Amino acid sequence: MSAVFEVGGMANPDSGAHGASDAAAAGEPILRVENLTVSFDGFRAVDGLSLVIDHNELRVIIGPNGAGKTTLLDMICGKTRPSSGRVVFNGRDLTRMPEHEIVRAGVGRKFQTPSVYEDLTVLENFEISIPNGQGVWGSLFFRRDRGVMQRIADIAEQVFLLDLLGQKAGRLSHGQKQWLEIGMLLIQSPQLMLLDEPVAGMSPREREQTADLLNRISRGKSVIVIEHDMDFVKRIARKVTVLHQGRVLSEGTVAQVQDDRRVIDVYLGH
Amino acid sequence: MKALLRQPEIVATALVVLLILVVLPLTLDPFRLNLVSKYMAFAFVAIGVVLTWGYGGILSLGQGIFFGMGGYMMAMFLKLEASAPELPDFMVWSSVEKLPLWWEPFHSLTLTILLILVLPAALAYVFSYAIFKKRVGGVYFAIVTLSLALTATVLIVGQQGDTGGANGITDFRTLLGMDIIGDDAKGVLYFVQAFAVCVVMVVALAMLRTRFGKILIAIRDREDRVRFSGYNTATIKAFVFTVAALFSAIGGAFYSLQVGIIAPSTVGVVASIEMVIYAAVGGRLSVPGAVVGALLIGFLKSYLSETFPEGWLFFLGALFILVVVAMPSGLAGLFERLALSRRAPRATG
């Protein structure tokens, strides 16, 4: 299902029909954020920010509180509308699309506080996240067939929740809710996942498991992670972007960023 | 089968079906049974309230509008038949000389039934989609529906010549030439209506068991998150609101048939709020509970007003407060707790 692997490598004889795969073949990145700005009551939370994410890239975004990290993700997924600038995903401009269409285009979002449906079971949380039949009739006549159950079991196993499928999501631990929400994204098979602080509230052991999980996931899709925990960042990151006051302060490998004087001054050095 | 019987909701539904199709017809005299059919008309509305409010988190204080549309359309047909070939009496009194154009379709029963099933539902969809699309919800939606109900009554009362005004439309005798006033006819109508309630209960329960039902709960608890699961929540909410409107209209049509009168007071703000209370007392998460709530409060209203003509409304008010404070899941919650506590010892033993 998550066969969005290596879009450029799918040597399609009659290619040229799809703009998106064309763009990928031409080395077009999966996400281009161009000169993005948003202000709340005159305060520029994100200020002329540009960013490029490649296919199958795992990018970590760090920065002090109020740097605009969450706001950036909010604008990519349509929760907040930018005052100016563009978000181009696979050649499509997302800035005017309603949230559910951005999701269907292939962008998944995990929120900072785990947002799962607490009154539903883990199984039902996964079930309603499956991306087909999301209209009224599709939902009414959705059948929980063997394919669906298999897919849910696969994802549940990946996020360590296979034994808890019958449990109400509200009774999961904080860390398990984080996993559930990651799993709900995975079952949408997005091409780009936006994860806001995925290991907040997790035990050291859970953090290790999550790092492995993210490393596995990012082999098949692009992932943007916001995280504060530098040990965790080192585990997963190849490339890090540091935001400060709504702008990109520094970008590079973990080592490069840690040696950057400006980054030490505003964020890491305290 | 055994697994089914272990679910309190299924057991409760079976008991309610038994109650309205067997127990009540066998035990009540024709007069009381006819009263039951009056209360039962509101059960249709209450089931819709369970779907929209209990599961979808959409509180409408204007369900009377759709109930009224169903009721008035049925009454218009019956009235035309009762007064044919003359104009309806209230039109004559208001010196209306020609039948208003929008009354014409109601010469035909087929057309009337079709309009009852389509018109309120269509209106509900268009209206609620426009509102949900703008992300207006919660209390604001309740206020909008409340003012609509108020507007509807003002409109009906103001157009006396066309609508019968504050007196409503009454004095029907036959349906396609068949008597509908006698005890036998009312008895038959009772069974038709009771059967319809059962069908609506089953439809509602079936809906709640699908993925659609789960999405409704998700929307109630975290609507913003549901959008990021890929759903257009406005369509989902508008759809469930439409289903509730359809149920209400069916209830309204039965009301006119059974009670023999439809008036603005059955449609307005107070009536609309009462419809929510039926669901709250029965248990806003319980489909059979809604039916019991409607029947019970209807019965209490009659009984208390006969016994304590002065102060009966206070008893009713006290009951509402008691239920809301002490039993947030209503009677259904009580039933469920009883059912579960009786099973517990057996499971361990």
pLDDT mean for each 10 residues of chain A (270 residues) = 36 39 64 94 91 94 92 95 95 94 95 93 96 91 93 96 96 95 95 94 92 91 92 89 93 91 81
Which residues of chain A are at the B interface, by a Cβ-Cβ cutoff of 8 Å?
Answer: 77, 79, 98-100, 103-104, 108-109, 111, 115-120, 124, 127-129, 131, 133-136, 139-142, 144, 184, 188
Whether A88 maps to a domain, the answer reads yes
Record: contact B210-A142, CB cut-off 8 A: yes
- If DSSP codes are grouped into helix, strand and coil, which group holds residue B99? coil
Cα end-to-end span (Å), chain A = 45
Q: Output the pLDDT for position A68.
A: 92
Q: What is the mean pLDDT of chain B?
A: 91
DSSP E strands, chain B: 169-170, 174-175, 178-179, 261-262
Least confident range of A160-169, B15-24, B126-135, B324-333:
B324-333
Supply the CATH number for residue A56's domain: 3.40.50.300
- Total domains in chain B come to 1
Name the pLDDT band for B346 (thresholds 50, 70, 90).
Answer: very low
Whether A146 maps to a domain, the answer reads yes
pLDDT tens figures, B222-249? 999 999 999 999 999 999 999 999 999 9
Tokens at A172, concatenated: 């999961």
Residue B348 CB neighbour total at 10 angstroms: 6
Residue with tokens 């585990």: A235
Nearest to A120 among B217, B232, B239 (CB): B217
**One-letter amino acid identity for B8?**
P
Please give the interface size between A and B, counted as residue pairs whose CB atoms are below 8 Å apart: 75
Q: How far is CA B193 from CA B88, B190, B250, B258, B291, in A?
A: 27, 5, 10, 9, 13
Contact (Cβ atoms closer than 8 angstroms) between residue A120 and residue A169: yes
A116: chain B residues, CB-CB within 8 Å: 225
Q: What is the pTM of this model?
A: 0.90
* ipTM of the modeled complex: 0.87
Residue A20 CB neighbour total at 10 angstroms: 17
Record: contact B218-A128, CB cut-off 8 A: yes
User: In angstroms, rounded to a whole number, what is the distance separating the alpha carbons of residues A114 and A125?
Assistant: 13
- If DSSP codes are grouped into helix, strand and coil, which group holds residue A224? strand
The helix (H) or strand (E) run that includes residue A248 is: strand A247-252
Separation in Å, CA of B208 to nearest CA in chain A: 9
What is the extent of the structural domain holding A258? 27-268
Residue B283 CB neighbour total at 10 angstroms: 28
Q: Output the pLDDT for position B289.
A: 95
Q: Output the pLDDT for position B307.
A: 87
Residue with tokens 């059919």: B37
Whether A3 maps to a domain, the answer reads no
The helix (H) or strand (E) run that includes residue A46 is: strand A43-53
User: In angstroms, rounded to a whole number, what is the distance separating the alpha carbons of residues B224 and A77?
Assistant: 12
R_g (Cα) of chain B, nearest Å: 21
From A98, A240, A126, select the one nearest A182 (Cα to Cα): A126
pLDDT at B152 exceeding the cut of 70 = yes
Separation in Å, CA of B55 to nearest CA in chain A: 11
A118: chain B residues, CB-CB within 8 Å: 221
State yes or no: cis peptide before B85, omega within 30 of 0: yes
- Total domains in chain A come to 1
Q: Output the pLDDT for position A22.
A: 47
Nearest to A127 among B214, B224, B225 (CB): B214
Q: Output the pLDDT for position B33.
A: 94
User: In angstroms, rounded to a whole number, what is the distance separating the alpha carbons of residues B50 and A101?
Assistant: 30
Tokens at A13, concatenated: 């004889």
The helix (H) or strand (E) run that includes residue A40 is: strand A31-40
Supply the CATH number for residue B293's domain: 1.10.3470
Q: Output the pLDDT for position B344.
A: 56
What is the extent of the structural domain holding B238? 2-348
Separation in Å, CA of A80 to nearest CA in chain B: 12
Q: Output the pLDDT for position B2.
A: 61
Q: Output the pLDDT for position B323.
A: 82
Which residues of chain B are at the A interface, by a Cβ-Cβ cutoff of 8 Å?
Answer: 207, 210-212, 214-215, 217-218, 221-222, 224-233, 235-236, 239
Name the pLDDT band for B326 (thresholds 50, 70, 90).
Answer: confident
- If DSSP codes are grouped into helix, strand and coil, which group holds residue B316? helix
Could you tell me the sign of the dihedral formed by the alpha carbons of B168, B171, B173, B177, in that order?
negative
